[in-house]
Structure 1
Amino acid sequence: MKHRGRHRRRRRGAALRAVLTGTALALTAAATLISASQAEVAEDPGALKPLTSPADTDRLRLQEDLVPARTLDRLEAAMGRPVGVDTVLQSADRELREAADCSAGDRASLPVAPAVARAYCWDPADTAADDWRPASVTTSGDADGDGVWGTHRVVLAGWTHSTGTGRPGERGLARVAFVDADDPAHLAYRWVLLVVPVDGGRDYRSLASGVSGMVWYEDKLLVTTTTGSADALYVYDLDRIQRTTVDAPAVGRVPGGWSADGYGYVLPAVGSYRFTAGRCGPSGPPCPGALALDRGTAPDTLTAAEWTAPGADRPARLWRYAFSIDPARAGLLATDGAGRAEAVEAYRTRAAGIRGVLSYRKAGADRSSWYVGRLPASQDGHGGLWRQDTEGAQAARCGSDASERCWARGAGSLSYWQETGEVWSLSDRMLFALPLADLDGALD
């Protein structure tokens, strides 16, 4: 198990900031080649409206459901001793390329404004077809305040397979790229498939869900689940990664061992959170589409944004849950005696098509700012990035027409790495980072 005291802490924030500064100019030049003339200006989402009535907040209540220890123990006994994040990183078999070595099409997916400081494209084998799409990101900066997990700096990126394309056995699968980010100039990664134990731990199935939001906190990984489900989140334990033993297209127990559609590792769920009010949707609880960690609250909180269709007239909701401060419940949400987690803050926003959310309170500020990355109403091209609070909203703008369609194409979630001051995110083709100060500068 990971313990804070066992860290071999690395203080490389200054070196990383130097790398950010050095590469920003090249990426800014690349971004200016992207035309913003096609962009329409979206409606201002306005100020956030606090939600305080029980009719609103009761719909956000979650019920915790942890997988029994005997189920996890049975699966471990059958599959062998679990491995940790270090083992997965040591077996990394793919590389991310720096922006200069990526195609013009890849770079065209990056934000126009603010310009990113560094960016990476994935191994061509993972982007040759459009079957798999990246959507969520979290880092060891979320997992622990010093930014290091064990002896590594790590980025996790969640990908989901399209349900209507590719091999039938792949459809709907969810996988996570474990990225070794120790050297900013040479990032390598390995895939891990997300699964769920079944039959009391005698087997497992694929998660088969969109992973549009993901947060790594302590030793747990929390991910969003498919829209229209009563399940809001699934929980994974990063110390319970299991090796597979058979290279076959099936997922689960097979003759001769354990398979995961060709993946060498699986991560079995250890729990889930379900809405007590039933399935999410327009008349019920909000379907969570984006997640992020906020270390500026006490205790730390999990922030969430509701998924609504781009251009929809229906307002979306932003809300947060507190993490437990009980050492025996590391990485889990704070719950009452009945295992229920209540939202500790909630708002309504006119923003639609939210794919990324981040809450951050500047030093000396009397309230938090909420950053939302949005898909355009046409669902093609570049999206928008807005900062909202209870007083109003500001957008990053670009081009001669001051368009707000300046953010990444097919934008994914947002993750703030406190140690270095970076915000990490994804386009539909690339992984990128930029200082939060630059993001705020573009919004100011």
Structure 2
Amino acid sequence: MKHRGRHRRRRRGAALRAVLTGTALALTAAATLISVSQADVTESPGALRPLTSRADTGPLRLREQRVPAHALNRLSAAMGGPVGVDAVLENTDRSMRQGSACSGDDRASLPLTPAAAHAYCWDPADAASTAWRPTAVTTSGDAADDGVWGRHRAVLTGWTHSTTTGRPTERGLARIAFADADDPDHLAYRWVLPVVPVQDGRDYRALTSGISGMAWYRNKLLVSTSAGGADALYVYDLDRIQRTTVDGPAVGRVPGGWSADGYRYVLPAVGSYRFTSGRCTASGPPCPGALAVDRGTAPDSLVAAEWTAPGSDRKARLWRYAFNTDNASNADKTAGSGSVTPAGADGTGSVEPARGGPLATDAAGRVDAVEAYRIRAAGIRGVLSYRHPGADASSWYVGRLPDSRDGHGGLWRLDGEGAQGARCGADASHHCWARKTGSLSYGQETGEVWSLSDRMLFSLPLAALDRSLK
């Protein structure tokens, strides 16, 4: 079934938009908003400072790496054939609670201003653990222009496990919650473990690195990690989700089948992007942090923020890569699950190979940033880019951790002239955004921004966010 036919369904979207654009939850204390001028330099990240020289933009260059198609199809066939996003969303086993049913500590993690329009806390089985924390969010509003993927609206959140607590087999793992958002009153989700094929597709290993950012574009999921390794971005094909067959603590091939530390589904990487000048360093390539999709550029683009520790003298870079337009028609036809051959139909469980990765490359497989800036802030955990109607250029939004790395962060809108942020509380603090600020995702079809605190998933209209920054 063609992609356009599968995901032009808006009935569920109407219910979701009605809730998300309704009255904001009365979950936080009243806040006093004060305009922020360029004179307020203590917290402000300042204006966008363009980076144009080759010395500045060269370290942002990537090179595409692909897992061979035969290795991916070998793994897929051995595991019984791939499934798509719909299969996961139609087999959810966790429920989310709405804001009023969440604990006081949960609600205290939400932004002080602007207030969340809708908020959710996690299933008690996951909320009880202090070892796992949500760090990144992306939605089907990033993936498709109408916000629907296959038969569903979906919200994906990336989680990172502490390397010092919990079961030894799960320390350092990353996992992704696939949430069915068709009914805004009853979000439900299922865990999927991201993995990396090894031994030419005969096995896989876990992605043992914290997720720092995620961006879902068409049928590809781009994931940045906090390890600072050779791979700046991992690429996952959402038509290649696989079912496991053994419920055990191991990750990979085991006697009797395939295991993933107890998770029912795995998502094998299909490629990666590496900085051509090596691993991230203080003087070279950035450590990739937050990611987001910008569907307001031509072509659509991926925006990224550099991770630097709060309080660091090393200030962050923001930059943009163009998405590949060569795959547009093919991806739009096959997204959702259309490119997946049903298991056993041809004896291979194969997936139609893409003609290239999601980012635009030159003939040598290199990816150059098409826009880059330096700001005077560190500790960036969320990034968005959006061009308002009538504006000459895009505004950039950044969610920033406080220097202590704890407590509520700040949310700022930046352009070439300066930065604006909200102040709140009796002390007119800039720390008004979510606690332990998470990533940002904007859906153009609903006009909503999704984000995370350390305990909750929430959304609010971009217009409300802009009003708070005046």
- TM-score of the alignment, normalized to the shorter chain, above 0.5: yes
- Counterparts of 1:183-194 in structure 2, within 5 Å, are 183-194=183-194
Paired AA for residue 183 in structure 1? D
**CA distance 1:245–1:13, change in 2 (3 Å):** closer
Match of 1:410 in 2: 436
Q: CA deviation at 1:164?
A: 1.4
Q: CA deviation at 1:8?
A: 4.2
Match of 2:4 in 1: 4
Match of 2:148 in 1: 148
Q: The residue matched to 1:249 in structure 2 has which SS?
A: coil
Q: The residue matched to 2:192 in structure 1 has which SS?
A: strand
Identity %: 76
**Comparing both chains, which one has the higher relative contact order based on Cα–Cα distances under 8 Å and sequence gaps of 6 or more?**
2
Q: The residue matched to 2:464 in structure 1 has which SS?
A: helix
- Counterparts of 1:15-94 in structure 2, within 5 Å, are 15-24=15-24, 27=25, 29-32=26-29, 42-94=42-94
Q: The residue matched to 2:370 in structure 1 has which SS?
A: strand
Contact 1:371–1:387 under 8 Å retained in 2: yes
Contact 1:94–1:189 under 8 Å retained in 2: yes
Cα deviation digits, residues 150-200 of structure 1 (max 9, x gap): 110100000011111111110111111000000000000000000000000
Is 1:421 the counterpart of 2:447 in the alignment?
A: yes
**CA distance 1:178–1:96, change in 2 (3 Å):** same
TM-score w.r.t. structure 2 length?
A: 0.90
**CA distance 1:363–1:134, change in 2 (3 Å):** same
Q: The residue matched to 1:358 in structure 2 has which SS?
A: strand
Looking at structure 2, the residues matched to 7 and 34 of structure 1 have their Cα atoms a distance apart, in angstroms, of: 40
Looking at structure 2, the residues matched to 330 and 241 of structure 1 have their Cα atoms a distance apart, in angstroms, of: 19
Q: The residue matched to 2:412 in structure 1 has which SS?
A: strand
Looking at structure 1, the residues matched to 400 and 176 of structure 2 have their Cα atoms a distance apart, in angstroms, of: 23
Is 1:161 the counterpart of 2:161 in the alignment?
A: yes
Is 1:355 the counterpart of 2:381 in the alignment?
A: yes
Match of 1:138 in 2: 138
Looking at structure 2, the residues matched to 35 and 313 of structure 1 have their Cα atoms a distance apart, in angstroms, of: 31
Match of 2:462 in 1: 436
- Counterparts of 1:111-126 in structure 2, within 5 Å, are 111-126=111-126
Q: CA deviation at 1:226?
A: 2.9
Q: CA deviation at 1:12?
A: 5.3
Contact 1:218–1:330 under 8 Å retained in 2: no
Given candidates 392, 398, 410, the residue that maps to 1:372 is: 398
Match of 1:208 in 2: 208
Contact 2:411–2:421 under 8 Å retained in 1: yes
Q: The residue matched to 2:141 in structure 1 has which SS?
A: helix
Match of 1:282 in 2: 282
Q: How many residues align?
A: 438
Contact 1:63–1:276 under 8 Å retained in 2: yes
Match of 2:333 in 1: none
Of 329-338 and 206-215, deviating more is 329-338
Looking at structure 2, the residues matched to 195 and 365 of structure 1 have their Cα atoms a distance apart, in angstroms, of: 41
- Counterparts of 1:323-362 in structure 2, within 5 Å, are 323-327=323-327, 328-329=354-355, 332-362=358-388
Is 1:256 the counterpart of 2:256 in the alignment?
A: yes
Looking at structure 1, the residues matched to 42 and 154 of structure 2 have their Cα atoms a distance apart, in angstroms, of: 35
Looking at structure 1, the residues matched to 219 and 13 of structure 2 have their Cα atoms a distance apart, in angstroms, of: 23
**CA distance 1:390–1:227, change in 2 (3 Å):** farther
Q: CA deviation at 1:11?
A: 5.0
Q: CA deviation at 1:439?
A: 0.3
Match of 2:425 in 1: 399
RMSD of aligned alpha carbons = 1.8
Cα deviation digits, residues 229-276 of structure 1 (max 9, x gap): 121100000000000000110100011100000000000000000000
Match of 2:336 in 1: none
Looking at structure 2, the residues matched to 97 and 42 of structure 1 have their Cα atoms a distance apart, in angstroms, of: 38
**CA distance 1:104–1:35, change in 2 (3 Å):** farther
Contact 2:95–2:188 under 8 Å retained in 1: yes
Q: CA deviation at 1:210?
A: 1.3
Paired AA for residue 133 in structure 1? R
Looking at structure 2, the residues matched to 366 and 254 of structure 1 have their Cα atoms a distance apart, in angstroms, of: 57
Looking at structure 2, the residues matched to 330 and 442 of structure 1 have their Cα atoms a distance apart, in angstroms, of: 41
